[in-house]
């Protein structure tokens, strides 16, 4: 939702106003902001535990993420994604081994 709109109205680096979510309980408050680490790079959602976070604290976190980012995306997250993603070939092998190839919801249904 919101990432789509931010991607279309801005291209510069920066962050949105914090949105505080209390729906998880009084001891599990999440404050989130949408972030662009570099100009014309993808927007990511950054979440903080608790509701009191200053603009300087957010900027400090962004500076740390920026120093270790590749193409506007934190390197540690990119590395985790690359190490955990499952290729179509690997998924087909698992589906076959588990006998799920005829189950509705397998990728063959999608074509």
Cα(109)–Cα(87) distance, integer angstroms: 17
Which of 14, 65, 64, 59 lies closest to 40, judged by CA?
14
pLDDT value at residue 81:
86
Q: Output the pTM of the full model.
A: 0.67
Whether the CB-CB separation of 13 and 36 falls below 8 Å is answered with yes
Residues of the chain with pLDDT under 70: 1, 101-111
pLDDT value at residue 103:
56
The 8-class DSSP code of residue 97 comes to H
């Amino acid at each position: 939702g919101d990432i789509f709109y931010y991607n279309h109205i801005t291209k510069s680096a920066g962050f949105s106003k914090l949105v505080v979510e209390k729906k998880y309980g009084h001891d599990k408050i999440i404050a989130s902001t949408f972030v662009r680490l570099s100009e014309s790079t993808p927007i990511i959602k950054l979440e903080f535990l608790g509701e009191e976070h200053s603009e300087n604290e957010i900027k400090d976190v962004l500076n740390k993420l920026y120093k270790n980012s590749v193409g506007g995306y934190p390197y540690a997250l990119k590395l985790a994604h690359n190490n955990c993603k499952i290729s179509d070939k690997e998924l087909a092998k698992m589906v076959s081994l588990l006998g799920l190839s005829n189950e509705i919801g397998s990728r063959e249904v999608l074509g």
